[in-house]
């Protein structure tokens, strides 16, 4: 059973960089069959896709966040990470990591999710 | 940019009744659509992908249909555990970019 677990500071100051790590167990980030993604959800609001990474290191980001986002992968630790720079209160959200699967029809979907971690941006 | 809308925002249904949730894309996404269920304090759970394929372990009372710009999630007979928020999600282009709809809350009538 694949499990994902987010970790990182729960409080970040405005203008600083938010850093989170997702540890994967029961599966490998080195698998060429999946992408690994970050998604966030402001309190009481909907879901926003942030970006994803492939084991090779190739990435794709939400255009609205692209200038501030970096996603990286550490295959030796079976982890992938998120960095979001120049944060403001609008970046306060529950951050989820998730696995992206796809089928032979080319349908992509988020099939496994971490439990989520709340990050608050405040001085 | 493809914009997703969902209707209604809130759907009040009695247990045992049928619930029909709608999702619309601002331009065609073919069958590149998924549905998720989210309960308070929990991560979303995948229900449907490819517009109509149920994910592993999802009960048969959940069904998805549609293609292009109009999609529907139907819950044939609502159980108590089905009261939640439901999100649709599309992806397009290569490499894929993902967008979620704003959600429909299904609550008890």
> Using one digit for the tens of pLDDT, what is the confidence trace for B22-77?
999 999 999 999 999 999 999 999 999 999 999 999 999 999 999 999 999 999 99
Residue A82, min C-alpha distance to chain B (Å)? 17
A1, two tokens: 């059973």
Match 């729960």 to its residue by tokens: A10
Position A106 pLDDT exceeds 90: no
Beta-bridge partners for B20: B74
Contacts of A109 in chain B (CB under 8 A): 34, 46, 49-50, 55, 89
Which pLDDT score is estimated for A35?
A: 95
**What value does the mean pLDDT of chain A take?**
96
Instruction: Using alpha carbons, select from B67, B89, B75, B91 the residue that is nearest to residue B16.
Output: B75
Burial of B105: CB neighbours in 10 Å, binned 0-12, 13-18, 19+: middle
The interface residues of chain A toward chain B in range 10-69, judged by CB-CB distance below 8 A, are: 37, 46-49, 58, 60, 62-63
Question: How many residues are given for chain B?
Answer: 109
pLDDT attached to residue B109? 87
Torsion angle in degrees (nearest 10) through CA of A69, A19, B88, B33: 60
Specify the DSSP class assigned to residue A15.
Answer: T
What are the tokens at A56?
Answer: 């090779």
């Amino acid at each position: 059973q694949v499990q994902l677990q987010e970790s990182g500071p729960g409080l970040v100051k405005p203008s600083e960089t938010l850093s989170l790590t997702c540890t994967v167990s029961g599966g490998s980030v080195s698998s060429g069959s999946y992408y690994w993604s970050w998604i966030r959800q402001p309190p009481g609001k909907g879901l926003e896709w942030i970006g994803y990474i492939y084991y090779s290191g190739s990435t794709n980001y939400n255009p609205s966040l692209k200038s501030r986002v970096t996603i990286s992968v550490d295959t030796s630790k079976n982890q992938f990470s998120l960095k979001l720079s120049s944060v403001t209160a609008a970046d306060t959200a529950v951050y989820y990591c998730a696995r992206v699967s796809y089928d032979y029809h080319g349908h992509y979907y988020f099939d496994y999710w971490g439990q989520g971690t709340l990050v608050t941006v405040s001085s | 940019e493809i914009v997703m809308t969902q209707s209604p925002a809130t759907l009040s249904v009695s247990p045992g009744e049928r619930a029909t949730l709608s999702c619309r894309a601002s331009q065609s996404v073919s069958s590149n659509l998924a549905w998720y269920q989210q309960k308070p304090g929990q991560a979303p759970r995948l229900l449907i992908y490819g517009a109509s394929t149920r994910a592993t372990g999802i009960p048969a009372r959940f069904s998805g249909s549609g293609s292009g710009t109009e999609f529907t999630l139907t819950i044939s007979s609502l159980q108590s555990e089905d009261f939640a928020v439901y999100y649709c999600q599309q992806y397009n282009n290569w490499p894929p970019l993902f967008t979620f709809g704003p959600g429909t809350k299904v609550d008890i009538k």
